[in-house]
Structure formats: structure tokens, C-alpha cells
Amino acid sequence: MNKKFYAAGMCLYRSLVSTFFTLGGLQILKRKYKNDIAERTGQVDTKNIPEGSIWVHAVSVGEVQSASSLIRRIKSKSLLPCIISTVTPTGRDMAKKLLDGIVEKIIYSPFDSKKFVTRALDNIKPAIYISMETELWPEILSQLKARNIPAFLANGRLSEKSFKRMKRTKFFWSGVLENLTKLMVRFNDDKEKFMMLGVPEEKIVVTGDCKVDTLLDRRKITSPENWSWLKKNENSPLFVAGSTHQGEDDVVLSAFRLIRKKFPDARLAIVPRHPERALMTVAAALPYEDLHAELLSQIDRDNPTKDFNIVVVDRIGVLFELYAAADAVFVGGSLVNKGGQNPFEPALFGLPAIHGPSMSDFPDTERMNSMGAAICVHSDTELARAWEECLKPENVKLALKNCDEYFNTLGGAAKKTWREIETCMLDIKEGKA
């Protein structure tokens, strides 16, 4: 790392952030966040936050899921107080769902401005800071380093898009990453990317995916009966297209029309990655006379009399349970160039994660494919064919076996991650680091 280039980069970064807030950025953010603005500007109510807490930061839903297993591990092995911060309201809701009563407090992370970060750190006074997955904010990492507060990256990953962007300004990002005490990453592919950004190999440990541990725990308390009412009858199949992005609806609908030729009583649940797209997804089905789509919010669960064959989910937090009730699935963000969505969730229920070719955010998908826990498709006809294969009794048993064998190779990431952090803290205490 060239420290001069990094210092210059930080000066520029701080200048740009300061200019944004000086020129009215804060007023815009106040209108957007309203009730949350105090925490986002570092004015954290420290009630129930003991000095010396472990601060875990998880930007949104997926990262909170990853953090959940790690925090539960910390709590089971120590008496250390923990707080968790998020950026999105949906992330906060997920934190309440998974961690309420386990962490001392759930807060919003401060904007990455020198003033707001300073205020937040002065208020919270954490002993350790753990950032989940891809959350690498230059200001807070710089201030943590200056205060000698160990900062860790857990469940670290870099999408291809983020990696290419950071590589173009490697002189800056290598300095940002230097502020981390240690990086615990999911897979070797992630390790190689961070090394190419200048992180020494000895600072990186491959621990696996913490999200798997959380999902394994959630599977134990998830029943397929919660959403079996969506099926037209006991023997009719339910297909679930999860976390779909714009550009995938037409392909999924076309595949569903093909599969209905053999299974006319089939139903499809489409879960847009962004719930605000739900009405657009309903509209995409309008040109087809044989398709009738309804919003989930418009269906009476206790008396689903509407003659629908497609339900579009316009709320968050139900996809995992829908996978449990499904007979076959499609994982979105993969037929468009978005890097894919989580393939682990359906596979946990013995359903091959059928996906498109864009799965760069989940590099272990290739191994899932080779083990029969996932299937790659490229078109509506391939998707329909894969769905049909998933319904065959002999394939149902085989898929369950393949998925179980795949997950037997995973798990334990939270335990490994906390062990690495504990070891680092002990070395720091004894003056070895």
C-alpha cells in the first residue's frame, strides 16, 4: 500500500462527503429518513449499550441473516454485549425478527461522514467492530484504526462488479482494507479477490458462509404447512420464483405457461426482489388469457376464493417459508446480469436451486451444480423442463439426497469466524499483534 496515495484518497473522499452534506444533502436525507435521522447522524441513545460492546454492522436483510448466526455464537460463548446496526428499514425489521432480545440494541448505522462517525463512536465506545459481507465504509474504518479499535470483516465477499470498481482505484481501497484487523471470507474465490486488492494472505481466512448456519437454524422452525394453502389442491404443484428482477418476469411466466400444459392445476408464486415491482409483475401477466395474477395482499388466506393461478408477493420476509412449501423453484437475479440471489435457501428444503447463468455473487453455485443441488438454465423452455424434472418422484428423492450431501460440506462458519476473532483479540491483549 502506498500511504501517500491512500491519504490523498481519504482527503478527497472526505471532501466529497462534506460537500454533499454542505450543499443540502442532509436536508434531502432528513426528508427521506425522518424518524431515523438522529441515529443516522450518530446521535445514538446509549441506554442499554454498555461501554465496550461488540458492534456488528449488517447493511440489509441478507447481511443480517449472516450476522444472526455469528451473534448467536458470540452470545453462547461469552457474556459480551452486542449491538447490531443496519442501513435499510427491511434490514432493521429482519434484525428484530431474528435478534430481538438477543442483542442489547438495534440501531441505524451513521452516514459515513467524519462528523457523524465521530459522534457515533464517542457515544457507543465499542470494543470490537465487525462488518458483514461487503460493507467497507472508508471513514468509519479509518476512525476505528485511529482509536485502536479492532475491526473485522466477517462473511466477506466481493461481487464481480464491486471487485472491478475497487480494482480501478486499488491505491485507495488497499488502504481502506489495511484498516481491518482480519478478514474472514466465504470462499477461496473471495480470498483471491481481496488479495488482488492488496490484502496480505496472512490477514485472510476462509471460514465458509455464516448465512448457511442461520438458514439451518431457521429450517428447524419452518413448516411447509404455513403456505400450503396456496396450492389449488393437495396434489397440484406450487412453483416459486424467488427474488426476481426486472427482465425475468416474462421468462418465468412463459415457463409457467409451458408447464401448465402438463399440470393445469399448478400455481406460481413470484416474489420480486423489490416489493414495489409487484404491480409491474401482475401487469406482465395481463396479456395472457390463461394467466390470472393476484397480489398476495389481495387474497384472503382463510377463504382464497379468487380464481388465480399466479400470486405476486408484495411483502417481505416470506420467501424462505414459501420455498419450504414449493415443489420446484427458480432463483432470480440470474437470468439478468445481477449476480444472482441466494441459492442456499431452496436447497435447504431439498429443492435444486434452478438459476440462470449470472451467479457471480455466489461462486459456490458451480459446486452446487456439480453435486446436483442446483441447476443452470438459460431460457423459458429449459426452466419449464427443469421444473418438470423436479416433480418426478425419483428425482425428488435424489434431489433431497444431493442437497443434504452438499450442506454436509458446509456449516460451522459462525464458529470458525468467532474463533478467529477471539484469537486475534487474545494476541492483541498479549502484545503479539
Q: Tell me: the pLDDT tens digits for 251-309?
A: 999 999 999 999 999 999 999 999 999 999 999 999 999 999 999 999 988 887 778 99
Write the burial class of residue 301 (CB in 10 Å: 0-12 exposed, 13-18 middle, 19+ buried): exposed
- Collapsing DSSP to helix, strand or coil, 182 comes out as strand
Mean pLDDT along residues 145-153? 97
The residues, any chain, with a CB within 8 Å of residue 163's CB and separated by 6 or more, are 193, 196, 197
Amino acid at 397: K
Distance CA 6, CA 11 (A): 9
Beta pairing class for 374-376 and 182-185? unpaired
Identity of the residue numbered 102: I
Q: What CA–CA distance (Å, rounded) separates 12 from 162? A: 20
Average pLDDT of 35-63?
A: 93
Q: Is the pLDDT of residue 38 over 70?
A: yes
Neighbours of 345 (CB within 10 A): 24
Q: Give the C-alpha separation, 218 to 216, whole Å.
A: 5
CA 268 to chain centroid: 24
Calculate helix-pair angle for 61-77, 210-220, nearest 10 degrees: 80
pLDDT confidence bin for 178, thresholds 50/70/90: very high
**What confidence category does residue 314 fall into, taking pLDDT thresholds of 50, 70 and 90?**
very high
Q: What local confidence, expressed as pLDDT, does residue 433 receive?
A: 61
> Nearest-CA neighbor of 227 among 160, 148, 144, 315?
315
310-312 and 267-272 as β-strands: parallel, antiparallel, unpaired?
parallel
Nearest to 175 by CA among 421, 57, 10, 13: 10
Match 398476495 to its residue by C-alpha cell: 296
Output the CA angle 288-294-300, nearest 5 degrees.
150
What is the overall mean pLDDT for the chain?
94
**DSSP string over 296-325:** GGGS-TTS--S--SEEE--SSS-HHHHHHH
pLDDT digits (tens, 9 = 90+) for 187-246: 999 999 999 999 999 999 999 999 888 888 889 889 999 999 999 998 999 999 999 999
Tell me the backbone φ, ψ of residue 255, rounded to 5 degrees.
-65, -40
Q: Is 337 exposed, middle or buried (0-12, 13-18, 19+ CB in 10 A)?
A: middle
- pLDDT value of residue 430: 74
User: CA 156 to CA 172: how far, in whole Å?
Assistant: 19
Q: What CA–CA distance (Å, rounded) separates 321 from 149?
A: 39
Task: Give the contacts of 21 (CB within 8 A, at least 6 positions apart).
Answer: 111, 113
State whether residue 345 is helix, strand or coil. helix
Q: Read off the pLDDT of residues 332-380 as tens digits, 9 standing for 90 and up.
A: 999 999 999 999 999 999 999 999 999 998 989 999 999 999 999 999 9
CB 204 within 8 A of CB 183: yes
Residue 64 has pLDDT above 90, yes or no: yes
Contacts of 373 (CB under 8 A, 6+ apart): 343, 347, 352, 353, 399, 402, 403, 405, 406, 407
Cβ-contact 112, 137 below 8 angstroms: yes
For the purposes of burial, counting CB atoms within 10 Å of the CB of 127, is it exposed (0-12), middle (13-18) or buried (19 or more)?
Answer: middle
pLDDT at 57: 98
| pLDDT of the residue at 99 | 94
This prediction has a pTM of 0.81
**Cell reading at 225:** 404447512
Whether 432 shows a pLDDT value over 70: the answer reads no
